[in-house]
Amino acid sequence: MVLEQLIGNLIQGLVLGAVYGMATMGLSLIFGVLQIVNVGHGAFIMVGAFITYWLFTALGLNPIFAVPIAFVFGMALGLLFYYTAMKRLIKAPELASLLVTFSIGVLLQEIVKLIFGSEFRGYNWVVGKINLGITVLPMTKLYAAIGSVLIAVLLYLWFNKTRYGSAMRCVVEDSEGARVCGINVGGVYAMSFGLGIGLTVASGVLLTMFIPVGINPYMGGGYTLKAFVIAVLGGLASPYGAFFGGLVFGLIENGSYTLFALIPGVEPFALTRFFSFMILLAILLVRPTGLLKAK
Amino acid sequence: MKKAQKYAPILPVLMAYIALFVVGKGMTGMWQLVATLLFYCALGQAFNIFMGMTGYVDFGYVAFMGVGTYGMALTITRFADFQGFGVGIIIIGFFAALLFSTLLSLAVGAVALRLRGAYFAIATIGVNEGFRFLIEGARIWNGSEGLIFTAQLNQILGKQSASRLAVFWADVIVFGIAIFAACLTLAYMRSKIGYALTALREDEDAAKVMGINVTKYKIIAFVTSSCIAGLIGATSWALKTPYVFPPEVFEIHYTIEAIIIVLLGGAGTLLGPIVGGLIYGISKYYLSVILPGFQLLIFAPIIIVIIIMFPEGVVGVFRKKIKGTKLERYFM
Amino acid sequence: MTLLRLDSVTKRFGGLVAVNQVSLEIDHGQFVGIVGPNGSGKTTLFNVISGVFFPEQGHVFFESKDITRLPPYKRAPLGIGRTFQIPRPFASATVRENIAVGAMFGTLSHRVNVEESLEIADQTIERVGLQDHKDKVAGGLTPVEKKLMEIGRALAMKPKLLLMDEAMAGMHPNDIDDIVSLIKRIAKEEQIAIVAMVEHIMRAVVGMAEKVIVLHRGAKIVDAPTKEALENPKVVDVYLGRPTKES
């Protein structure tokens, strides 16, 4: 019985982790190519969440369709921010890009608050559950997980099979060398930023499939922290590392929540968030380049 | 450098603060606004000591204000029953606030300050969240229910004094803190600490090779900045509104405001936080009348513009203009 | 007692051996040139001496003290100074303040305060000839001025050993001559040992060094007085086939 519970827990953790991982890939991609830490990461996830919400409640559109729409919207947003702001910060001190990405996050928050107000929103997409015997999984969560894995695979193909993807990999390795090889480094930067943001906004859709409530302009902050823990876990510059880091984190978060829920007199939700922060600090202390070998 | 020259830059600072005080007391109904402006200036001065002088961003800064608030709050609740201590308890409260913020900043600093820019920023994003959720999660200090200590404060000081404290004396204390922070900033700037911080801000690796123990100086700036934040929290929050709830005192909003104030005025300058605090405070005040709730929406793109186009802020630009003139030595 | 002694120092980066069992000795006041093509390990060697890296094997001794694992900021007060190929000024500070930093945290760090450091900076500025620029913000200087300031800052540390990284790269021959004679003069006056890293500008080497150490692929292949070293066939070998640079 206990073993069943454990495996059930494992599955739940992995499903959650896949979505978390996918949500972090954009962050790692941007850092890998541009050496910029997107501190406003969570705000873009929030944007994706609101896109899903709006498409569902206003247009009756299935969240699965929201994914590509959110992705395209995200890419456009990313390119916009790249050309207006980020482009000038490539050579600037770190402080500058940290503060600008942070401010972009705040800006997005406020704009969304302006449009939708700050109440908590949610939507109800009923597609039933799947009973795996040891545990029960709502179909929405399953879709979210499958979607995440799919996107991760697509990204892998992009990097390894397409010319542009390879160009990106070259720039990560050595931007000067890439320039000498004739690669339009500026274009790669723009593309990478756009792609990274696109991925992040799309992940917001998948996250709402997982948790279709609590959508509000300020929801990003918590996700930013989680994304950083995952990114650092998997090696800040590697999108694949991020995905696997996500899986690990999903397992840890799910596991610790269950554990904390067993302790009387504490609030498990809050403690889990505290715990993830402790993990972050621990990794930063021990191995800031990540526990997994970056690819 | 003669003594006079060395301390000349403090003059405009003192003049600004005294002018504020006079306006606040002299003109009817202005005290509230002036008090708010003082809060922002003090916050800016404190935050400037770290972010301005080291070039590192602490996204979890508000945690130190929060912890200072708890220090005062806990002192008031625990000592309220000791008859005859009166104001002494408030003073103990300040020491508690200092103690708490020192401890937290040493703990965070020891871990985070070994890390470079971006990693440090990431670590600090979590401090805020982490500490708040520790309090809520482990139900420390009454967890998410927070502390309400209006009754105890009244008990200690008497109802009249307590309310006088809230609307006047607490702000005077903030005034004192702001001036103290400014003097400390100048003292640092004129000492080896200031030179070391400038060096490590500009080029950390070159600074190390020059013999600068960068971690030590980062910690000095960090702990100083955080302690002052703790004092501000203890005064502006605990003494003015005698209750403390974790979601409120760990609200990232205040960190954002501190960042805006320092950048706007001029990071790393002495006068920057005052200018920034005044501009931000006054703008926010008027915005709250015309367009309530919009100030972040307006200021967020302003920060972006400042960073990209005027990274040295108002005072920085001003200093460039007066370079080579006699004014230069008064405006740091 | 020698000033600096390296004992079989090896530094690896993953599979690459950047410095391969290098041993050498530098005496007080000695002027040594370290020569070798790109990738021969010169910069890594300097980084090991100044403490940026710790070697996997071997030891570094400074005045008989084992400093192999001492952090870089502790080596400066002992007397190890360094300049970089591309000058690294503290851009927002003035020339005077930059050089004063050297004095504040170098060998005199426990004995001077800010005022005294600024005085030392003034003296140093006179010696390197930057009087006209002393209150200028360092970020706005020309490359030559930055180079002079870089040297001044290191000199203000009152070092016993000065590591000059790729000292003359990219400079006009006239400027090189000027700086070389400046360095030689100051080194003699203050009894500073100078280890200058030079890639292939022989003019500087011949003008400056008493002895030359040649590195190739991380290993030391020659360690001899200048004239001897430059006539050594191994050295000629190492430089064969390289495109001739200016002068």
Q: Are A23 and A227 in contact (CB under 8 A)?
A: yes
User: What does the block give as tokens for B98?
Assistant: 């200092």
Nearest CB neighbour to C88, from listed B1, B191, B203? B203
Distance of alpha carbon A177 from alpha carbon A181, whole angstroms: 6
Q: Are B35 and B236 in contact (CB under 8 A)?
A: no
Distance of alpha carbon B86 from alpha carbon B79, whole angstroms: 10
- Chain C residue nearest residue B316, CA to CA: C92
- Is residue A293 very low, low, confident or very high in pLDDT (cuts 50, 70, 90)? very low
Write the CB contacts of B192 (distance below 8 Å, at least 6 apart in sequence): C104, C105, C113, C114
| pLDDT of A295 | 35
The verdict on a CB contact (< 8 Å) between B209 and C102 is no
Write the CB contacts of B35 (distance below 8 Å, at least 6 apart in sequence): B24, B171, B174
Q: Are C6 and C58 in contact (CB under 8 A)?
A: yes
The verdict on a CB contact (< 8 Å) between C90 and B208 is no
CB pairs under 8 A between A and B: 138
| pLDDT of C205 | 64
Q: Residue B105 belongs to what H/E stretch? A: helix B87-112
| pLDDT of C204 | 62
3-state helix, strand, coil in chain B (%, to 5): 80, 0, 20
Distance of alpha carbon A16 from alpha carbon A19, whole angstroms: 5
Residues of chain B contacting residue A96, judged by C-beta atoms under 8 Å apart: 307-308, 311
- Taking the Cβ of residue B11 and every Cβ of chain A, the question of whether any pair is shorter than 8 Å is answered with no
- Taking the Cβ of residue C115 and every Cβ of chain B, the question of whether any pair is shorter than 8 Å is answered with yes
Residues of chain C contacting residue B203, judged by C-beta atoms under 8 Å apart: 88-91
Residues of chain C contacting residue B311, judged by C-beta atoms under 8 Å apart: none
Model confidence over A69-103: pLDDT tens digits? 999 999 999 999 999 999 888 877 878 888 999 99
Calculate the average pLDDT of chain B. Answer: 87
Residues of chain B contacting residue C105, judged by C-beta atoms under 8 Å apart: 192, 196, 210-212
The verdict on a CB contact (< 8 Å) between A94 and B117 is yes
Q: Are A236 and A289 in contact (CB under 8 A)?
A: yes
Model confidence over B140-191: pLDDT tens digits? 888 778 888 888 877 777 777 777 778 888 889 999 999 999 999 999 999 9
- Backbone φ and ψ for C38, nearest 5 degrees, come out as -55, 135
Which site among B54, B308, B312 would you substitute to test the A interface, given the most A Cβ atoms closer than 10 Å to its Cβ?
A: B308
Chain A and chain B touch, per 3+ beta carbon pairs within 8 A: yes
- 3-state secondary structure at position C196: strand
The verdict on a CB contact (< 8 Å) between C76 and B209 is yes
Q: How far is C169 from chain B (nearest CA, A)?
A: 19
- Considering only residues 55 to 114 of chain C, which have any Cβ-Cβ distance to chain B shorter than 8 Å? 71-77, 82, 84, 88-93, 97, 100-102, 104-106, 109, 113-114
Q: What is the DSSP letter of C63?
A: T
Single-letter residue type at A133: G
Distance of alpha carbon B146 from alpha carbon B148, whole angstroms: 7
User: What does the block give as tokens for B12?
Assistant: 């405009």
Model confidence over B55-96: pLDDT tens digits? 999 999 999 999 999 999 988 888 877 777 777 888 888 999
Is it the case that residue B234 has pLDDT exceeding 50? yes
Residue in B227, B230, B226, B223 with CA at minimum distance from that of residue B69: B230
Nearest CB neighbour to C73, from listed B190, B203, B208? B208
Q: Are B50 and B225 in contact (CB under 8 A)?
A: yes
| pLDDT of C199 | 63
Q: Are B72 and B98 in contact (CB under 8 A)?
A: no
Distance of alpha carbon B215 from alpha carbon C93, whole angstroms: 21
Q: Which chains touch C (3 or more CB pairs under 8 A)?
A: B
Distance of alpha carbon B329 from alpha carbon B7, whole angstroms: 9
| pLDDT of C202 | 62
Which site among C82, C84, C90, C136 would you substitute to test the B interface, given the most B Cβ atoms closer than 10 Å to its Cβ?
A: C90
Q: Are B183 and B48 in contact (CB under 8 A)?
A: no
Tell me what ipTM this predicted complex has.
0.86
The verdict on a CB contact (< 8 Å) between B211 and C106 is yes
Phi-psi region of C72 (alpha: psi -120 to 50; beta: other; left: phi over 0): alpha
More confident residue, A231 or C238: A231
- Taking the Cβ of residue B167 and every Cβ of chain C, the question of whether any pair is shorter than 8 Å is answered with no
- Count CB atoms within 10 A of the CB of residue C30: 20
User: What does the block give as tokens for A223?
Assistant: 């996700």
- Taking the Cβ of residue B280 and every Cβ of chain A, the question of whether any pair is shorter than 8 Å is answered with no
Model confidence over C28-71: pLDDT tens digits? 888 888 887 777 888 889 999 999 889 999 999 999 899 999 99
Q: Are B85 and B79 in contact (CB under 8 A)?
A: yes
Is it the case that residue B43 has pLDDT exceeding 90? yes
Residues of chain A contacting residue B56, judged by C-beta atoms under 8 Å apart: 95
Pairing of strands C31-35, B243-244: unpaired
Nearest CB neighbour to A99, from listed B123, B144, B307? B307
Residues in chain A: 295
- Is residue A291 very low, low, confident or very high in pLDDT (cuts 50, 70, 90)? low
Single-letter residue type at A57: T
Nearest CB neighbour to B211, from listed C52, C77, C114? C77
The verdict on a CB contact (< 8 Å) between A114 and B297 is yes
Residue in A274, A279, A256, A275 with CA at minimum distance from that of residue B131: A274
Residues of chain B contacting residue C97, judged by C-beta atoms under 8 Å apart: 195, 198
Low-confidence ranges of chain C (pLDDT < 50): 241-243, 246-247
- Taking the Cβ of residue B7 and every Cβ of chain C, the question of whether any pair is shorter than 8 Å is answered with no
- Taking the Cβ of residue B192 and every Cβ of chain C, the question of whether any pair is shorter than 8 Å is answered with yes
Pairing of strands C211-216, C219-225: antiparallel
Distance of alpha carbon A10 from alpha carbon A57, whole angstroms: 33
The verdict on a CB contact (< 8 Å) between B125 and A281 is no
Write the CB contacts of A48 (distance below 8 Å, at least 6 apart in sequence): A70, A74, A200, A201, A202, A203, A204, A205, A207, A208
Distance of alpha carbon A197 from alpha carbon B244, whole angstroms: 37
Q: How far is B186 from chain C (nearest CA, A)?
A: 14
Chain A and chain C touch, per 3+ beta carbon pairs within 8 A: no
| Confidence (pTM) | 0.88
What's the 3-state SS for B115-168?
CCHHHHHHHHHHHHHHHHHHHHHCCHHHHHHCEECHHHHHHHHCHHHHHHHHHH
Model confidence over A248-260: pLDDT tens digits? 899 888 888 888 8
Q: Are A120 and A214 in contact (CB under 8 A)?
A: yes
Write the CB contacts of A205 (distance below 8 Å, at least 6 apart in sequence): A48, A49, A51, A52, A63, A66, A67, A70
Is it the case that residue B48 has pLDDT exceeding 90? yes
Residues of chain B contacting residue C101, judged by C-beta atoms under 8 Å apart: 195-196, 199, 207, 210, 212
Which site among B48, B125, B250 would you substitute to test the A interface, given the most A Cβ atoms closer than 10 Å to its Cβ?
A: B125
Distance of alpha carbon C98 from alpha carbon A47, whole angstroms: 47
Residue in A227, A264, A262, A216 with CA at minimum distance from that of residue A41: A227
